[in-house]
Structure 1
Amino acid sequence: MSHDAAYWLQKIRALDLPARVKIMNVCGGHERSITLAGLRGALPDNIELIPGPGCPVCVCPEEDVYQAIQLALNEKIILVAFGDMLRVPVNVPRNEPRSLDAARAAGADIRPIASPTEAVQIARDNPDIAVVFFAAGFETTTAPVAAMLAAGVPSNLSVLLSGRLTWPAVAMLLEAGKPGFDALIAPGHVATVMGPEEWDFVTARHGLPAAVAGFTPESLLAATYSVLRQLQGERPFLDNCYPQLVRPGGNVSARRQLAQTMDVVDANWRGVGVIAASGFGIKPALAAHNARLRFPAYDDPARKRAGEMPPGCDCAKVVLGRIYPDQCRLYGRACTPRSPVGPCMVSDEGACRIWWASGIREAKVA
């Protein structure tokens, strides 16, 4: 039986809770729903909802974006990427293109796409030109890329893969000592693909309440109520508050295609650093479609030293849930959606962009 948001709010307000409870929501889609629905203002004052590391655009390594820009500028190729990636800034001198959008303005053939099928179609339509698909994203975005590779792609199409798994960043936060939150709301769309079991470690290893949520205010409030009840009863477990789509084991076909085409590898997260076993790499059997191997001259390991956030940008702290977006020194000042300094202000899943869209326009810092 489903209940509306008012029902869950009433149940939450009736709980006898500690003075302060901090709940991290991992997913950028969750953060958008929470902020635009005004859930923070509707919940009791002692419940804090903290946005977490669930923005793939925000954590995509700067060196990968730079590599895509240089490839597009210096090779006779068509570069395609998901639309959000085109405005992500990199750290370069002012006279150089600092985003894929700027590289396109400088003459590179760069095209935004919404799905891997568009990349395949562009490659088929241009058989004499190399097409590079810059594919950044978490499991839900990477699974369709795996399906594309598993189905077979034109010989002129290669993938510059920057895929990440969601849970290792949360594991890193929990293993780094005091995590800064008391409970976790896990992303429903990732659990739909990978299965909810990926999040068992939160309760089993760290003793924190956890719940998988969908994207409606009702599902998010049901998950909030669940983790609060778990805290109150001191009996943490992983609750599935999105049973409509999340099933044990996840999507068997999608997981099989991921395993067939990709390996799990150590991966760099922008502003965070390398997290063990947190990324996807294209399997050696598909080397002909691996843009890193096809265009090795543009894979510059030295670039990682320049790959932090721009000077003054606190996006990494926002991603890790250590500060709120409006506590960044540049928020609403040098950094706005029209002229983003850091990636958190670029993507629709970036917490800074979401907060700006909700009407929060000024930084809280002095």
Structure 2
Amino acid sequence: MREDFTTARAWLERIQALPIEHPVAVMNVCGGHERSLTQLGLRGVLPSNVKLIPGPGCPVCVCPEEDLADAIALALSGQVTLVAFGDMLRVPINAPKGEVRSLAEARAKGADVRPISSPQEAVALAAKSEKPVVFFVAGFETTTAPVAAMLAQGVPENLSVLLAARLTWPAVDALLRDPEARLDALIAPGHVAAVMGANEWGFVAEKYHLPVAVAGFSANSLLAALYSVLRQTLAGKPFLDNCYAELVAPEGNKRAQALLAEVMDVTDANWRGIGVIPRSGFALRAEWRRHDARERFEFSTLPRRHAGEMPPGCDCAAVVLGKKQPDQCRLYGKACTPQNPVGPCMVSDEGACHIWWQGGTRAAA
């Protein structure tokens, strides 16, 4: 169905009519939101005082380097077929020159590495394979819930999961606690809210007294959410607004939440370039550990430099935290491009650097 841009134009006119006298910094948490905002060219038509800031909503960008290194090492061992969502294959680790830096390079060296687009593909592959299959999972709640459903429904015994999954809201909570964070409002991710519920984002208004609105990915929904948080800012009365009510319920998808609770524990977890965030990760519960790759396999150690960090000179962590815009990175468009990514933000189509480059933004002079 084609979008009704007449409605979008009406929302834009309402935003432009607001008496915004001072700069307002609005973080859009979701990588999908950033992609829509850029493709639609919304930054160029909003009032100059409204600054849209990309946030930590790219799972590829924050996947711990040590988990990537483990996945690469396991693939290179020749013991398994390793499958992962396509973006993960090109994410580099900090390996010395001449060493394997990504799953794609491991595949080029002969490792059995395959991109997939759904958990069902991993199950189907394992069902017809005599070889162990390891599903390397990096993602947020929307990715993790289908993986939980996959395990709950039963999988072949030769299928294991190497889990690097994260929850979204704890990263935002940690970001807002940072005294350096200078945000005035937040656009919450519609796809995560569809699973976990719009109400999960109420803490932004209640705890931090910031306007917050859940948005979808259309121009209409995004502009409605922007209008809402700007109106709240001007009124000085922050609250949670759901501007994606057609797909997001206040309490979310109860079945998906039940599957997550059945299969996963919530744990402290590391975020690449950011550090450990309390209760921000998923781990398999005890009854599912027989499908945990870490319980089944020995992992060798790959040669690495600056282990666990972003690559030298890469500002991906600052971009993810909203402290820098992509084109303020020292490597953006110079050493780091989508064809030759240095940092993870330039790899994924949910990474802000990749999105800005594809949208036509080149390196700052």
Give the deviation of 1:3 after TM superposition: 6.5
Matches within 5 A, 1:100-115: 100-115=103-118
**Equivalent residue letter for 1:42:** V
State the secondary structure of the residue aligned to 1:297. Answer: coil
* Structure 2 match to 1:59: 62
State the secondary structure of the residue aligned to 1:363. Answer: coil
Q: Does 1:38 align with 2:44?
A: no
* Structure 2 match to 1:335: 336
Q: Distance in 2 between matches of 1:363 and 1:239?
A: 36
Q: Distance in 1 between matches of 2:263 and 2:305?
A: 26
Give the deviation of 1:2 after TM superposition: 10
Distance verdict in 2 for CA 1:124–1:6, change over 3 Å: same
State the secondary structure of the residue aligned to 1:353. Answer: helix
Q: Distance in 2 between matches of 1:76 and 1:90?
A: 21
**Equivalent residue letter for 2:30:** C
* Structure 2 match to 1:361: 362
**Equivalent residue letter for 1:205:** K
TM-score by length of 1: 0.96
Runs of 4+ aligned residues of structure 1 deviating over 4 Å after TM superposition are: 302-305
**Equivalent residue letter for 2:134:** V
State the secondary structure of the residue aligned to 1:307. Answer: coil
Give the deviation of 1:294 after TM superposition: 1.0
Q: What is the root-mean-square deviation in Å for CA atoms of aligned residues? A: 1.7
User: Deviation string for 1:270-300 (max 9, x for gaps)?
Assistant: 0000000000001111111001111143489
* Structure 2 match to 1:271: 273
Q: Distance in 1 between matches of 2:298 and 2:241?
A: 45
* Structure 2 match to 1:15: 18
Correspondence for 1:47 among 50, 54, 73: 50
Q: Distance in 1 between matches of 2:150 and 2:273?
A: 30
Q: Out of 78-87 and 288-297, give the one that drifted further.
A: 288-297
* Structure 2 match to 1:250: 252
* Structure 2 match to 1:129: 131
Q: Does 1:24 align with 2:27?
A: yes
Residues 62, 304 of structure 1: 8 Å contact kept: no
Residues paired across the two proteins, number: 362
User: Deviation string for 1:96-119 (max 9, x for gaps)?
Assistant: 110000000000000000000000
User: Deviation string for 1:228-277 (max 9, x for gaps)?
Assistant: 11011111100000001000211111110000000000000000000000
Q: Distance in 2 between matches of 1:292 and 1:363?
A: 43
Q: Distance in 2 between matches of 1:9 and 1:299?
A: 53
Correspondence for 2:198 among 193, 196, 202: 196
**Equivalent residue letter for 1:337:** P
TM-score by length of 2: 0.96
Correspondence for 2:293 among 272, 291, 294: 291
Give the deviation of 1:303 after TM superposition: 7.6
User: Deviation string for 1:52-72 (max 9, x for gaps)?
Assistant: 000000000000010000000
Q: Distance in 1 between matches of 2:300 and 2:181?
A: 37
Q: Distance in 1 between matches of 2:306 and 2:322?
A: 24
Give the deviation of 1:125 after TM superposition: 1.1
Distance verdict in 2 for CA 1:323–1:163, change over 3 Å: same
Give the deviation of 1:330 after TM superposition: 0.3
Residues 292, 299 of structure 1: 8 Å contact kept: no
Percent identity between the two aligned chains: 64
Q: Out of 302-311 and 318-327, give the one that drifted further.
A: 302-311
State the secondary structure of the residue aligned to 1:236. Answer: coil
Q: Distance in 2 between matches of 1:171 and 1:304?
A: 30
**Equivalent residue letter for 1:350:** G
**Equivalent residue letter for 1:333:** K
* Structure 2 match to 1:143: 145
Residues 330, 363 of structure 1: 8 Å contact kept: no
Q: Distance in 2 between matches of 1:130 and 1:327?
A: 44
Q: Distance in 2 between matches of 1:194 and 1:303?
A: 37
Correspondence for 2:170 among 168, 171, 193: 168
Q: Distance in 2 between matches of 1:102 and 1:230?
A: 49
Q: Distance in 2 between matches of 1:162 and 1:56?
A: 9
State the secondary structure of the residue aligned to 1:310. Answer: coil
Residues 263, 281 of structure 1: 8 Å contact kept: yes
Q: Distance in 1 between matches of 2:71 and 2:217?
A: 32
Q: Which runs of 5+ in 2 are unaligned?
A: none
Q: Distance in 2 between matches of 1:297 and 1:7?
A: 56
Residues 74, 299 of structure 2: 8 Å contact kept: no
State the secondary structure of the residue aligned to 1:52. Answer: strand
